[in-house]
Structure 1
Amino acid sequence: MSRINISKQHPDVYQQTAALSQAAEAAAAAAGVDPKLVELVKLRVSQLNGCAYCCRLHTRDAVELGETVDRLAVLPAWWESQYFSEQEKAALGLAEEVTRLSVPERSEWENGSLTPEQVSAITWLAIVMGAWNRIAIRSGYRVAP
């Protein structure tokens, strides 16, 4: 089965995700996070997740905000360079910690038993659950009996 455009299969879920993204950006702005740092975080997370579309998008957005080519070039090894402030290093380190809950893609599930709509719905559920997982882990939710 080819990839399913889940934003077209369930546009209402996509719109809610977009609203969540806008709320996160508003919270960053309200917290005084520099817009260039917001783009660096988005770009670094996209690099870690291997999303070429988002890497391109957020590189362009960072450049439009005045980010330098040198800093973008060393972003994959930010901890090894002297280009980033302590605040930027902290933000990038946090973003990496939150992001590195990945597993290599597997396709054993592709046995023809799921419709494209089901593939889209399950994909959205996994995306949303991943977000909740990260919220719970990062927030230190207790798992005691």
Structure 2
Amino acid sequence: MKVRFNYTEANPGAFQTMLKLEGFNKTSGLDAKLYELIKIRASQINGCAFCINMHTKDARKLGETEQRLYLLNAWREAPFYTDKERAVLELTEAVTRISEHGVPQDVYEKVRAHVDEAEFVAIIMAINTINAWNRLAISTGMFPEED
């Protein structure tokens, strides 16, 4: 595999804009482990190997368990996620696949049962940001390097 080009060098302003989004997400009050779950799940859906690799490592550093990481793509069938995490993962899937069915009212209500409006917006921003990172990585041919 070969990287098509380094987008951070090709357009530093775009990269800086993405870093500003990431900075907002990190200061939004969103739980760091939940943020990593959002990033991993969206990356799984989008098929972004680079981001899956990066964010599973980041999640492990935060103390996330191997079992929860291995089962994330089957979170509905695994009993290891909280109700809030389940709601947020369902929202992550809906927003990542927004062209298919939008964000159904029941999905919105499940998340809102656990968060206020400000945190809901923070979650949406987190989902949007990782989807943008995925699209940058995939479009420019980024791939994980062997450890």
Q: Same fold (TM over 0.5)?
A: yes
Q: Is 1:84 aligned to residue 84 of structure 2? A: no
TM-score (norm 1): 0.63
Q: Structure 1 residue 5: deviation in Å?
A: 2.7
Q: In structure 2, what is the Cα distance between the partners aligned to 1:18 and 1:62? A: 19
Q: In structure 1, what is the Cα distance between the partners aligned to 2:7 and 2:47? A: 18
From 38, 42, 55, the equivalent of 1:45 is: 42
Q: In structure 1, what is the Cα distance between the partners aligned to 2:98 and 2:88? A: 17
* Counterpart secondary structure, 2:63: coil
- Aligned-residue CA RMSD (Å): 2.5
Q: In structure 2, what is the Cα distance between the partners aligned to 1:53 and 1:43? A: 10
Q: In structure 2, what is the Cα distance between the partners aligned to 1:36 and 1:78? A: 15
1:24 paired residue number? 25
Q: Which has the higher contact order (CA 8 A, sep 6+)?
A: 2
1:68 paired residue number? 65
Amino acid at match of 2:60: V
From 54, 57, 61, the equivalent of 2:54 is: 57
TM-score (norm 2): 0.62
TM-superposition CA deviations, 1:55-111 (whole Å, max 9, x none): 111001100111001111110010111110000001111111111157xxxxxxxxx
Q: In structure 1, what is the Cα distance between the partners aligned to 2:55 and 2:67? A: 15
Q: Structure 1 residue 13: deviation in Å?
A: 1.2
Q: Structure 1 residue 10: deviation in Å?
A: 0.7
When Rg is computed on C-alpha atoms for both structures, the one with the higher figure is 1
Identity over aligned residues, as a percent?
43
1:93 paired residue number? 90
Amino acid at match of 2:91: L
1:11 paired residue number? 12
Which consecutive residues of structure 2, in runs of 5 or more, have no partner in the other structure? 100-127, 133-147
Q: How is 1:96-107 mapped onto 2 (pairs within 5 angstroms)?
A: 96-101=93-98
Which consecutive residues of structure 1, in runs of 5 or more, have no partner in the other structure? 103-126, 132-145
